[in-house]
Amino acid sequence: MNLNNILLKLFKRYASKWLVLAFDLCVVICTFFFAYLIRFNFSLDFNFEYFLRQIPFVTAAALVSFLSVGSHKGVVRFTGIKDIFNNVVGVNILATILIVTTYISRKYDFDTVFDIPGSIIYIHLLLNIFFLAGCKFIIKSIYKSVIYETEINKRVLIYGAGNSGIITHDAITNDTNSHIEVAGFIDDNEHKIGKKINLLNVYSIAKITPDFVKKHTIDEVIISIQNISPKRLLEITNRLFELNLKVKIVPKVQDWIEGNLSVGQIKDINIEDLLGREPIKIINPALYDEYDNQVILVTGAAGSIGSELV
């Protein structure tokens, strides 16, 4: 069994939220020590016994802070902006607790264990934000690299770099059974082209050429635009079909199950999607007799009259 397989088995297990909380508390303790080192120019020229006495108090304050915002409840491998926001709020609550207790300690001459220099509190706050977010993103990156190396079956582009496209990206990357890697986004908005979303490039449709598809081993494109016109949808699909790419489409928001998008809801594009409406069902026995078991070619099917026949 190689290292990748071992890591894959480990990553498929969800870490207990209490283990995540314990990890966060360990980070807080380490950054508290680093804050002292930075404050004293990376020397141990400070009262180490005084520092050790403060650790239990800082840990308890951090425990209260993290429990109050629930930052430990997120799944580390799927760390996102909301999880980082919860961490930032948590460490700010921690810093506030330390500032308040320091003020009270100095004013009422309490035990010096509650008296932490303001410079150390602020350094500690910044280190906590950096290390808590950094560690979780590193774990997430390792997870993604292991999954991509061992289980990726196809690479896709998402057409649409708006909210729907980002939700589609998250649905794919958070589904460990999808075996899909998102290679980038396509968008018609010139202000988005050339930018990055979730560290992935946003391309124009003109950039998607046969050479591009071959170089990046693209298998399919998922169209994730909620208010796209049938005419524009037809133009896009024609262009993608010319590149021998499989095309799928994300359903309308109102069709998402309980308001959430899953990979299973992303479907192959069909004629109904291109029509932009429900297909017309003509109930006429005379027409059944006329066209039963016949293959019919409708010319100009994309026009106003032809589309009514489809």
Residue 260, pLDDT score: 79
pLDDT score, position 168 = 92
Q: Domains in the chain, start-ordered, CATH in brackets? A: 3-146 (no CATH), 152-278 (3.40.50.720)
- Give me the DSSP letters along the chain: --HHHHHHHHHTSPPPHHHHHHHHHHHHHHHHHHHHHHHTTTS--S-HHHHHHHHHHHHHHHHHHHHHHTGGGS-GGG--HHHHHHHHHHHHHHHHHHHHHHHHHHHHT--GGG---HHHHHHHHHHHHHHHHHHHHHHHHHHHHHHHHHH--EEEEEE--SHHHHHHHHHHHT-TTS-EEEEEEE-S-TTTTT-EETTEEEE-GGG--HHHHHHTT--EEEE--TT--HHHHHHHHHHHHHTT-EEEEPPPGGGSBTTB--GGG-EE--HHHHHTSPPP----HHHHHHHTT-----TTTTSTTHHHH-
Q: What is the pLDDT of residue 217?
A: 92
pLDDT digits over 101-134, tens only?
A: 999 988 887 767 788 899 999 999 999 999 988 8
Residue 13 pLDDT: 58
Task: Give the pLDDT confidence of 190-249 residue by residue, as tens digits.
Answer: 999 999 988 899 999 999 999 999 999 999 999 999 888 888 898 999 999 999 999 999
Q: Reply yes or no on whether the pLDDT at 152 is more than 90.
A: no
Residue range 10-35: average pLDDT?
A: 82
pLDDT at residue 310 is higher than 60: no
